[in-house]
């Protein structure tokens, strides 16, 4: 399956040139760009690992691309996303979030149903990947 979190997941993967244009848009709005990665893409896993803090003082998209590439190089099998943080009153939240790397094989989630009284069901999403230890969740050797 393809996990479709983020604002451009229904489009073909963005090229580096396209990623750079989006970063430029964020910077032109005065937002701070951040890079985060994870091997646990559960939709409610809010806190992915930060590749450093948001780059508050970095205004050059090429500089951001260098950081992004360094992250991708160190974690080639992780999900990686680019975020833009807006510190302005009324927002003070994330304004952009899009995926820039995903593992070659995405095993996805099992929907675990626990039946309760009155036909109610309690639903749990269990990632097929996180059953394995962090080091080997998406590496080819670990694939079944």
Partner 1 sequence: MNKALDVKITDLKERYTSGVLKYRQMGYWEPEYEPKDTDILAVFRITPQDGVDPVEAAAAVAGESSTATWTVVWTDRLTDSEYYRAKAYRVDPVPGSPDQYFAYIAYDLDLFEEGSIANLTASIIGNVFGFKPLKALRLEDMRIPPHYLKTFQGPATGIVAERERMNLYGRPLLGATMKPKLGLSGRNYGRVVYEALKGGLDFTKDDENINSQPFMHWRDRYLYCMEGVSKAEAETGEVKGTYLNVTAATMEDMYERAEFARDLGSVIIMIDLVIGYTAIQSMAKWARKNDMILHLHRAGHGTYTRQRNHGISFRVIAKWMRMAGVDHIHAGTVVGKLEGDPSVIRGVYDTCREIHVPQNMQHGIFFDQPWASLKKMMPVASGGIHAGQMHQLLHYLGEDVVLQFGGGTIGHPMGIQAGAVANRVALECMVKARNEGRDIWNEGPEILTAAARWCQPLRAALDTWKDVSFNFASTDSVDVLPTPTAS
User: Can you give the binding site for partner 1, defined by CB under 8 A?
Assistant: 1, 3-5, 7-12, 18, 21-22, 25, 41-44, 46, 83-84, 89-98, 108-111, 118-123, 125
Give ∠ CA 107-108-111 in degrees, rounded to 5.
130
Least distance (Å) between residue 39 CB and partner 1? 13
Q: Which is nearer to partner 1, 4 or 53 (CB)?
A: 4
Q: Classify residue 55 by its DSSP letter.
A: B
Question: 11 by DSSP, 3-state: which?
Answer: coil
Q: Which is nearer to partner 1, 70 or 87 (CB)?
A: 87
Pairing mode, if any, of strands 79-86 and 93-101? antiparallel
- How far apart (Å, rounded) are the C-alpha atoms in residues 38 and 21? 24
Least distance (Å) between residue 41 CB and partner 1? 6
**Are the CB atoms for 82 and 34 separated by under 8 Å?**
yes
Least distance (Å) between residue 21 CB and partner 1? 5
Least distance (Å) between residue 106 CB and partner 1? 8
Q: Which is nearer to partner 1, 73 or 117 (CB)?
A: 117
* Two structure tokens written together for 41: 């893409």
Least distance (Å) between residue 32 CB and partner 1? 14
- How far apart (Å, rounded) are the C-alpha atoms in residues 114 and 124? 8
| Contact residues for 75 (Cβ-Cβ < 8 A; gap 6+) | 37
Q: Which is nearer to partner 1, 47 or 53 (CB)?
A: 47
Q: Which is nearer to partner 1, 16 or 74 (CB)?
A: 16
């Amino acid at each position: 399956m393809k996990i479709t979190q983020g604002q451009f997941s229904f489009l073909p993967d963005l090229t580096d040139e396209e990623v750079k244009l989006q970063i430029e848009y964020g910077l032109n709005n005065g937002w701070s760009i951040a890079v985060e990665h994870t091997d646990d893409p559960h939709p409610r896993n809010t806190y992915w690992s930060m590749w450093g803090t948001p780059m508050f003082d970095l205004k050059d998209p090429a500089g951001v691309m260098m950081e992004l590439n360094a992250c991708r190089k160190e974690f080639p099998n992780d999900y990686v996303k680019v975020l833009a943080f807006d510190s302005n009153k009324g927002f003070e939240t994330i304004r952009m979030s899009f995926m820039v790397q995903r593992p070659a094989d995405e095993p996805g989630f099992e929907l675990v149903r626990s039946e309760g009284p009155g036909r109610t069901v309690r639903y749990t999403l269990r990632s097929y990947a996180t059953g394995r230890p962090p080091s080997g969740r998406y590496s080819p050797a670990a694939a079944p």
